[in-house]
C-alpha cells in the first residue's frame, strides 16, 4: 500500500524538475532563435542606417566602423541643400567635406522625386478605392452571370509579369503622349495594384453576413447606399490594408517608372536613387542617406499598421 502511494509522489517530483529543465531549455532555445531571426532581418538595415551617418572619410575605413565613431548628419544635409546649388565638376571637388565632394550630379532631383512618388502613390490609392470597392462589393454580394469568371479573370491579371507588359505599355503610353508624365505611372500602377485590392476586399465582403445586405435593401437602401452606409464602415480594416498595399506598391515600383520617366518632371524616388549608382564616382555615404530616406515612409507604415497588413496579405493570398 505505502509503496504504491510513494511511487507516484517520487514520479511527480521527478516530473516537476524535468519539466522545469525542459522549460528553461525551451526558453534558451527560443531566445537564441529570436536573436538569429532579429539578426537576419535587421542587420542589413541597421548597417545601412549606421553608414548613412558616417562621413565619406569614415565609411572607407577597414575594417568598417559598425557604429559611427564621429556620427554626422552631413549626408542628409547635403540632400536637402542639393537644390540650392548646381553641381558641376568643379563644385563637386570643392564642396562638402563630409562626402569628399562626391555628390552625385542628380542629387538635386531627389526631393522633387520624393514629391512625385508621394503624388503618384496617393492618386493610385484614391483610384484603387473608387474602382475596386464597388466591383468587390458586386462580386461578393450580388449574383450575376459571369461572377465566378470575373473573379478568375482578376486572378489571372494579377499574375501577368510586369516585364511582359513593358513593351505594349511603352507604345501605348507613347501614343497617348504621356511619356515623362506622372499620369503614365498613375494609370499603369492602377492596373498593377487593383486586382490585389479587389481580391482583399472580396474576401472581406464575403465574410460579412448576407442578411445585412438584405436588411438594408428591404429598408429601401439603393445598392450604392448599402455599400457606403453598411459595408464601408464595417470594412475599415480591409480598406486600410488596400490603401497600404496600393501606396507601398506605387512608392516602391521601379521597372515601369524606369521606362516612362526621363526628367525630374516625372521621375520617382526609386529612379533617382538608382541613378546615383550610375554616376561615374559613386558616393556610398550619400547613397546610403538617400536609401534611408526612401525606406523611412514604408517602414513606418509597415510597423504602425502591422496587423492590417498581415490580415490583408493572408486574406488576399489564402482565400478567394
Partner 1 sequence: MTTTVAAAAKPRLGGVPGYDERSAFLLVAPLAVVLMAVAVFPIVYSFYISLFTIKLTRPGRTPFVGLDNYITVLSDPQFWYAVERTAFFAVLCVSAIAVLALLMALLLNEEFPGRRVLSALLLVPWAIPYVANALMWKWIYDSNYGALNGLLYQLDFINSYMVWLGDSDKTLALIANAFVWKEVPLATILLLVGLKTIPADLHAAAKVDGANAVSRFFHVTLPSLKSSFGLVVVYETMMAIRHFDLFFILTEGGPGDASHVVAWRIYVETFRNLSFGTGAAMAYLLALATLALAYVIIRALARKI
Minimal distance, residue 123 CB to partner 1, in Å: 13
Please identify, using beta-carbon distances, which residue of 115 and 171 lies nearer to partner 1: 171
How remote is the C-alpha of 79 from its chain's centroid? 23
User: DSSP 3-state assignment of 52?
Assistant: helix
Please identify, using beta-carbon distances, which residue of 81 and 313 lies nearer to partner 1: 313
Minimal distance, residue 315 CB to partner 1, in Å: 10
Neighbouring residues of 240: CB distance < 8 A, sequence distance ≥ 6: 305, 308, 312
Please identify, using beta-carbon distances, which residue of 6 and 22 lies nearer to partner 1: 22
Other CB atoms within 10 Å distance of the CB of residue 202? 25
For residue 125, what is its C-alpha cell? 490609392
Minimal distance, residue 242 CB to partner 1, in Å: 13
Measure the CA–CA gap between 84 and 215, rounded to whole angstroms. 62
Please identify, using beta-carbon distances, which residue of 67 and 94 lies nearer to partner 1: 67
Please identify, using beta-carbon distances, which residue of 86 and 143 lies nearer to partner 1: 143
Please identify, using beta-carbon distances, which residue of 21 and 155 lies nearer to partner 1: 155
Q: In whole angstroms, how far apart are CA 153 and each of 131, 149, 156, 198, 313?
A: 16, 6, 5, 12, 20
Cβ-contact 150, 198 below 8 angstroms? no
* C-alpha atoms less than 13 angstroms from C-alpha of 291 in its C-beta half-sphere: 19
Minimal distance, residue 165 CB to partner 1, in Å: 5
Minimal distance, residue 90 CB to partner 1, in Å: 26
Minimal distance, residue 234 CB to partner 1, in Å: 17
Measure the CA–CA gap between 277 and 118, rounded to whole angstroms. 23
Please identify, using beta-carbon distances, which residue of 6 and 37 lies nearer to partner 1: 37
Measure the CA–CA gap between 319 and 317, rounded to whole angstroms. 6
Measure the CA–CA gap between 250 and 197, rounded to whole angstroms. 13
Minimal distance, residue 272 CB to partner 1, in Å: 10
* φ/ψ (deg, to 5) at 121: -65, -40
Cβ-contact 271, 254 below 8 angstroms? yes
Amino acid at each position: 500500500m505505502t509503496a504504491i502511494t510513494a511511487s507516484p509522489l517520487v514520479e511527480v517530483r521527478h516530473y516537476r524538475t524535468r519539466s522545469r529543465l525542459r522549460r528553461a531549455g525551451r526558453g534558451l532555445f527560443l531566445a537564441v532563435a529570436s536573436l538569429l531571426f532579429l539578426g537576419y532581418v535587421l542587420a542589413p538595415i541597421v548597417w545601412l542606417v549606421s553608414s548613412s551617418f558616417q562621413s565619406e572619410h569614415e565609411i572607407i575605413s577597414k575594417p568598417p566602423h559598425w557604429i559611427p565613431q564621429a556620427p554626422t548628419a552631413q549626408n542628409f544635409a547635403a540632400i536637402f541643400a542639393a537644390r540650392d546649388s548646381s553641381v558641376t565638376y568643379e563644385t563637386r571637388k570643392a564642396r562638402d567635406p563630409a562626402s569628399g565632394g562626391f555628390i552625385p550630379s542628380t542629387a538635386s532631383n531627389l526631393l522633387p522625386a520624393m514629391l512625385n512618388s508621394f503624388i503618384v502613390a496617393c492618386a493610385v490609392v484614391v483610384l484603387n478605392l473608387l474602382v475596386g470597392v464597388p466591383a468587390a462589393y458586386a462580386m461578393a454580394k450580388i449574383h450575376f452571370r459571369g461572377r465566378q469568371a470575373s473573379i478568375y479573370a482578376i486572378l489571372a491579371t494579377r499574375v501577368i509579369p510586369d516585364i511582359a507588359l513593358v513593351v505594349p505599355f511603352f507604345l501605348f503610353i507613347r501614343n497617348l503622349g504621356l511619356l515623362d508624365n506622372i499620369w503614365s505611372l498613375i494609370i499603369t500602377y492602377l492596373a498593377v495594384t487593383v486586382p490585389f485590392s479587389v481580391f482583399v476586399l472580396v474576401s472581406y465582403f464575403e465574410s460579412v453576413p448576407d442578411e445585412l445586405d438584405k436588411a438594408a435593401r428591404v429598408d429601401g437602401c439603393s445598392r450604392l447606399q448599402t455599400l457606403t452606409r453598411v459595408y464601408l464602415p464595417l470594412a475599415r480594416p480591409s480598406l486600410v490594408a488596400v490603401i497600404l498595399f496600393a501606396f507601398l506598391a506605387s512608392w516602391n515600383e521601379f521597372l515601369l517608372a524606369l521606362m516612362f520617366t526621363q526628367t525630374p518632371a516625372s521621375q520617382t524616388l526609386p529612379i533617382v536613387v538608382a541613378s546615383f549608382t550610375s554616376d561615374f564616382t559613386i558616393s556610398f555615404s550619400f547613397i546610403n542617406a538617400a536609401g534611408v530616406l526612401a525606406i523611412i515612409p514604408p517602414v513606418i507604415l509597415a510597423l504602425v499598421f502591422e496587423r492590417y497588413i498581415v490580415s490583408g496579405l493572408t486574406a488576399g493570398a489564402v482565400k478567394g
